[in-house]
Amino acid sequence: MNRKICTILSGIMLFLLGCEDKKSSDIIKFGLSADYPPFEYYENGELKGFDVELGRIVAQEMGKKAEFEDMGFNAALVALNVDSIQAVISTVTSTPERRKNYDLSRCYYTESLAIVYNINEPYKTATALSKDVKVACQLGTTMEFWVKKHATDANLITMDKYPDMIEALKADQIDCVVMDTVQAKGFCAKNPGLGYSVIEQTDAEGYAIAFKKNSPLKDGANAAISKLEKNGWLAKLKAKYQL
């Protein structure tokens, strides 16, 4: 009798485990850093943006459901390698260095770098970022790598979220912020005391979805992005966000 109960219980356990496996493989959990409008941001407490819409449709094209976790940019890339998420969709610039460490999808948007400053104290070139100039950017981003390479004398301050850097800039706690151009344009439009200058065009590289090395999801995501390019969906999404 006891043995029978045990067999039935193990059967139920195996069945439940099977369900759990199926359930988690039906979902793509995307990590992101929701501080970067118009790609990922909150509006009235709701997660919105170009990347959120793209993540949803890419998952749908792959027969899966998208979930998102706002975890910070650097933390999201780290989370990929410990499997707590399956992808990062967060304006991840595809660089040769990153391509060594992650699987990156085909690019879906091309971007360049800009410096944001108070208009009465502009910093327009890399050489303007001289000794003692306090330059802020987000930890683990291409901006951090850029400042370390091109503005070696500057006082680099890495912070977690771009809106906090904008507030610090307005309060004169820092001198300028380095970020991608389209986001710089958006923050300046909302804050009339701020201006920006494009410092580097990155034509060859753009935003890609990041996966762990050898992820089985990359091919499906690439097929979905190609399809969305061909059928005009991606162009419509760009127009929606005025990109």
Residues that bind ligand ARG (CB under 6 A): 33, 35-36, 40, 73, 90-93, 138, 141-142, 180
* Angle at CA of residue 142, ends 96 and 213, nearest 5°: 45
Task: Give me the least distance between CB of 144 and ligand ARG, in Å please.
Answer: 8
Q: Tell me how far, at minimum, the Cβ of 76 lies from ligand ARG, in Å.
A: 9
Nearest approach in angstroms of CB 35 to ligand ARG is: 5
Q: How far is the CB of 142 from ligand ARG (least distance, A)?
A: 4
CA distances from 218 to 17, 124, 221 (A): 26, 38, 5
- Taking the least distance from each CB to ligand ARG, the nearer of 6 and 208 is 208
* Tokens encoding 28: 């793509």
- Residue corresponding to tokens 């753009």: 206
Residue with smaller CB distance to ligand ARG, 123 or 162 = 162
Shortest distance, position 26 Cβ to ligand ARG, whole Å: 26
What is the closest distance, in whole angstroms, from the C-beta atom of residue 65 to ligand ARG in the complex? 22
Q: What is the 3-state secondary structure (H, E, C) of the chain?
A: CHHHHHHHHHHHHHHHHHHHHHHHHCEEEEEECCCECCCEEEECCEEECHHHHHHHHHHHHCCCEEEEEECCHHHHHHHHHCCCCCEEEEEEECCHHHHHHCEECCCCEEEEEEEEEECCCCCCCHHHCCCCCEEEEECCCHHHHHHHHHCCCCEEEEECCHHHHHHHHHCCCCCEEEEEHHHHHHHHHHCCCEEEEEEEEEEEEEEEEEECCCCCCHHHHHHHHHHHHHCCHHHHHHHHCCC
Rank residues 46 and 132 by Cβ distance to ligand ARG and give the closer one. Answer: 46
Q: Least separation, in Å, of the C-beta of 25 and ligand ARG?
A: 26
With contact defined as beta carbons under 8 Å apart, do 189 and 110 qualify? no
Residue 30 or 36: which CB sits closer to ligand ARG? Answer: 36
Q: Which is nearer to ligand ARG, 42 or 223 (CB)?
A: 42
Residue nearest to ligand ARG (CB): 141
* 96 vs 192, beta carbon nearer ligand ARG: 96
> Between residues 36 and 68, which has the closer beta carbon with respect to ligand ARG?
36
